[in-house]
Amino acid sequence: MSRIPEETIQQVIAATDIVALVGRSVKLRKAGTNYLGLCPFHNERTPSFNVSPSRGTYHCFGCGAGGTAIRFVMEHDGMSFIEAVKRLADAAGIRIVEEVWDANAEAEAKQRALLLRANREAAEWFHLLLMKHQLAAPARDYLKARGINAEMAKRWQMGYSPEHKGLYREWMTQQKLSEQALVDAGIFSVADQDENGRGGRAYPRWRHRLMFPIRNDNGDVIAFSGRVLEKDQKGGKYVNSPETPVFTKSRVLFGFDKSKRFVAKSDQAIICEGQIDMIMVFEAGLQNVVAGQGTAFTEHHAKMLKRVCNEVILCYDSDNAGREATEKAFRILSPQGISVRVAALPQGEDPDSLIRKEGADALRTIITDAPEFLEHQIRHLRASAKSESTVERVRMAEQVASAISVFSGVAQRITAVNKVAKLLEISEEQLNAMVKRAGNDPKNSGSQQRGSDSSVNVVDDAKKLLASQNKTAVLLCQMALSDAEVLHWLRESGCEDMLREVPGTELLSLLAHSRYNPMDETSQPAFMAGLDRHQEAAFTQLQAHTRPPGGLHEARQALYALEIVRLQSLIQRAQSKLRQPGLTVAQMEQLQQEVVELSAMRKECLDRAKASPDSPHP
């Protein structure tokens, strides 16, 4: 196996005209030394997509997308890092001389390639059977009854797994695939041996089932989900592939390869429970939709979605299991900074059945009107409450407080408490106390609040907190506390990554995510009320200090300095990992890609930091 040397990658980037590359899919106009256009990765009316020919980079000030020509090809065309480099190298006439990897890495890469081939060939064969073979007539009848026509089956490459093992054997012989390869890919299972050593033979995992191929972000088939076609059929309603070197259930969202562009453009993802629901919603025109893999929604799923959107609408079944799944998903999504709404489907309906009975517009209306999770929770609690007495409202508030406690941002908590207190007609002070109690409950791991009865000296804690902060971040924080223009700019600057990753920016992050307004005296008490006592004391000390000189330009310079710290740290971390022995092919490619992208971003940031006060800024 091999990899592309870093020198070759830099040569490819230097030889690529990024304006011409991006201009093939984005209408650009010249703006000074750069070019502007509408971002291809999210919906916008005012151009904020900036292409810099001098730096060889692009950046969207609306959604944050950015990088080199390699990153653009990867994101726009759905390619892997290696595929993108090779495409650009071919276009530039650059010959790629690849470096040789060790034997273990080569063996691992060959095994992954074999598993991908086995899954790809199986998907094509299952699909051919569904569309052509008489044995698949029950599957075609089932699809017809569900409103799925031949064109839809082709678009999603649905298939049919035959009952007879002999057909599998004929196919694997034709494709020159070994039995062991099919076992490793999860297409065959191996029976357990009895105490006499009998058994242990391989057999097809799916028989007489409707097959849905599961794909990774690049569109490669990595697994399958097989659905029963008969009511009395043995086995579960859905049988999924086992985890393999190319498939991990908790890291894959069904249909994401098709919908991620629509999710990014709408800044919103609709999440369904099953494959058919997802497909029917997508085909109905709501294309920003994904589905899980029959497992609990995971933190990795949340992080996948956070990379492309800020809002999720949960569209689960309206039964008890669906409600429980909705709450669990909320507790995973919300700490990632994702806003969660809930589509309230009619009792007994799922997205597929609703579309078939009432049409796509009925579901579209429910999606549009979907309330925020807390409001949805209160509606459900009120529907099951015996009365609207104070006791009942307090009981409901205790349950909602548990959900509020998972919010990671101070501003989120303040807003949620204010809204819920009004809906339930209780005082904000009472609800805040409930949230703090819920936050101290180990079950609510999302909360990071401390108990208000701490015996630790608050002033000393505040001094320790200030001493732990990055000095540049403290400077920027002081400026934002007293200058509304600086604070507004900071909130619009897209500095989320820096606030998460640079140590010592906790106070700056609290301020940036708050509703504090230096021009509004009433906003300060509300801001301070949502803080822990030592945080409140730290901000009080900052406000007591003389405001540092300077305005928006100095604030920009401070933010650039913090961003450079973040990028340099990430570069060093990736370079350190590259020197570690025993890395897999995928790990090496990913780290190599990170170094290239981070270096380009650092150079762009350094160039901006050197700009004069009179230079134009985005």
pTM: 0.58
CATH number at residue 170: 3.90.980.10
Q: Model confidence over 319-343: pLDDT tens digits?
A: 778 888 888 999 889 888 788 999 9
Is residue 612 predicted with pLDDT exceeding 70?
A: no
The stretch 534-552 carries a mean pLDDT of: 77
134 and 191, same domain (yes or no) = yes
135 and 212, same domain (yes or no) = yes
Q: Model confidence over 72-117: pLDDT tens digits?
A: 888 887 777 788 888 898 888 888 766 555 566 567 768 888 999 9
Burial 188-216 (b: 16+ CB within 10 A, else e): bbeeeeeeeeeeeebebbbbbbbbbbbbb
514 and 484, same domain (yes or no) = yes
Considering only 74-88, 100-114, 132-146, 252-266, which range has the smallest mean pLDDT? 100-114
Comparing CA positions, the residue from 214, 212, 226, 210 lying closest to residue 251 is 214
Q: According to the model, what pLDDT value does residue 455 have?
A: 26
Phi first, then psi: give them for residue 443, nearest 5 degrees.
-65, -25
231 and 121, same domain (yes or no) = yes
Residue % of the chain over a pLDDT of 90:
28
User: Does 54 or 505 have the greater pLDDT score?
Assistant: 505
Beta carbons within 8 Å of 284's beta carbon, 6+ residues apart: 355, 360, 363, 364
Is residue 579 predicted with pLDDT exceeding 90?
A: no
Question: Is residue 447 one of the residues assigned to a domain?
Answer: no
Question: Is residue 444 one of the residues assigned to a domain?
Answer: no
Considering only 1-15, 16-30, 593-607, which range has the smallest mean pLDDT? 1-15
CATH number at residue 23: 3.90.580.10
Q: Where are the alpha helices (DSSP H) in 307-407?
A: 320-333, 351-358, 360-368, 373-384, 390-404
Alpha carbons 160 and 148: distance in angstroms, whole number: 14
Q: According to the model, what pLDDT value does residue 297 have?
A: 82
| Confidence band for 140, pLDDT divided at 50, 70 and 90 | very high
298 and 355, same domain (yes or no) = yes
496 and 542, same domain (yes or no) = yes
131 and 165, same domain (yes or no) = yes
135 and 201, same domain (yes or no) = yes
Question: Is residue 572 one of the residues assigned to a domain?
Answer: yes
| Confidence band for 294, pLDDT divided at 50, 70 and 90 | low
Question: Is residue 449 one of the residues assigned to a domain?
Answer: no
Q: For residue 484, which amino acid is it?
A: A
Is residue 608 predicted with pLDDT exceeding 50?
A: yes
Question: Is residue 104 one of the residues assigned to a domain?
Answer: no
**Total domains, the chain:** 5
Q: According to the model, what pLDDT value does residue 199 have?
A: 58
Q: Model confidence over 394-418: pLDDT tens digits?
A: 888 888 888 888 886 666 777 888 8
| Residue 499 host element (H or E) | helix 496-501
Question: Is residue 568 one of the residues assigned to a domain?
Answer: yes
Residue with tokens 């997308």: 65
Q: According to the model, what pLDDT value does residue 617 have?
A: 42
What range defines the domain where residue 171 resides?
112-244
Is residue 360 predicted with pLDDT exceeding 70?
A: yes
The stretch 545-566 carries a mean pLDDT of: 86
Domain boundary among 349, 370, 391: 370
